Amino acid sequence: MTASSGLTINRERLHRRIEELAQIGKLGDTGVCRLALSPEDLQGVLLVKEWMEDAGLQTRIDAFGNLIGWLDGKDAGKPLLMAGSHIDSQPYGGRYDGVIGVLGALEAAQTMAEHGIVPEMPIEIVAFCDEEGCRFNKGLFGVRGITGKLEEGELDRTDASGVTRREALLSFGGDPDRFDAAKYAPGAIGAFLELHIEQGPVLEALGRPVGIVSGISGPLWLTVEMTGFAGHAGSVPMPMRKDALVGAAHAIIALNDLARSVPGAPTVGTVGSLTVFPNSRNIIPEKVTFTVDLRDIDMVRRDVREAQFRRMLADIAVKYGLTYMVREDTNSEARYCAERIKAVMRTESAGLLDQVPPELMSGPFHDSLAMSQVCDYGMIFVRCKDGISHNPLEYAAPRDIELGAELLYRTMVRLSTGEGG
């Protein structure tokens, strides 16, 4: 697919900012590590804040650690248009995940201001705090904060070094005592837009640079702890063992088999983190803790798979003489993009691309998932090479990013003025 007309956004400025931000928390030649609420995350937020102010936006870092920049509209009383994503990363991450959504939205807002386009309503550009969830094992913190969806005990969650989220948030400049004041009133946000790399292989397989997202699969995150009994690896006979790692291994395989049980279904199941105690070569493992990530766009099917997995855990525990517990960390239903926003994207893409972009589901969750609980939302996906993400090899071609950012810009103009791009 090729572009049929020029761009309005400043492509050089957009790519320069992407590259400059990638130097903060740089990992090897192409990767980044900006864990949420870390010094590197703060450094990145302050740099983007500076760019927002250079673009003429007013800025603040709110109580939840979100960076927010805004442009005034003609009517301050109208529900605002919000756009953005996140800049925190996985510990072994790439430079585009989340980043193009923040910097693409900033570029769109800056281009509007430079062209003298005054929106009917206020526009806010947001870099949400801790979308990834890898440091404190629960993501979408900032966006759930402003929408009033935080859960009991979230500030007490600890990272691998024992630092609580509360401690990290305070050092970042956040303030739990101001949470209530930082929440948005019901109806305050009219729509949310997010530009993001696909993090999957569909667009590349289709040979298309951008896609319109139709909805986001519902993620279920569990933590499973299986407990047996430690003993000498050389002296305890096999029939007498209570090996927690053997039980966990069978559970992990069971999850994988369940996720594959319906050919062609978008169900995915992953165990991405595992801890063994006492973690010694010659001691039978006594306790194993592992995470479960189960997702599907079909909530009925996902719930069936969860129930099957829990029954298998019970059977495995009996078979190997173990006890176990399951903690639910995240449970979100699938959420569909607003038809009115998709219609605008289809219309605006006609003047930018030689055909309407394909529509596709998102398996990964995004800040849009939480925003969908309070307002209409729309997402634009950008093709990424080999579908690789959460990896330093993550890559999106400059031209694809430009087209995605331009479509975002045109959509923002149309939604905020009704006059199109």
- Check whether 152 is labelled as a binding-site residue: no
- Check whether 232 is labelled as a binding-site residue: no
Taking the C-alpha atoms of residue 22 and residue 39, their distance in angstroms, rounded to an integer, is 15
Alpha-carbon separation of residue 63 from 60, 172, 201, 316, 320 (angstroms): 10, 10, 37, 44, 47
- Check whether 86 is labelled as a binding-site residue: yes
| SS3 per residue for 44-90 | HHHHHHHHHHHCCCEEEECCCCCEEEEECCCCCCCCEEEEEEECCCC
Count other C-beta atoms under 10 Å from residue 84's C-beta.
Answer: 30
DSSP per-residue string spanning 156-182: G-B-TTS-BHHHHHHHHT--GGGHHHH
Q: Is 217 helix (H, G, I), strand (E, B) or coil?
A: coil
84's tokens: 């953005």
190's tokens: 């009219």
- Check whether 390 is labelled as a binding-site residue: yes
- Check whether 329 is labelled as a binding-site residue: no
Provide the β-strand partners of residue 296.
218
CA atoms within 13 A on the CB side of 114: 12
Mark the binding-site residues, compressed into ranges.
Answer: 86, 97, 132, 196, 390
- Binding-site residue numbers for Zn(2+) are 86, 97, 132, 196, 390
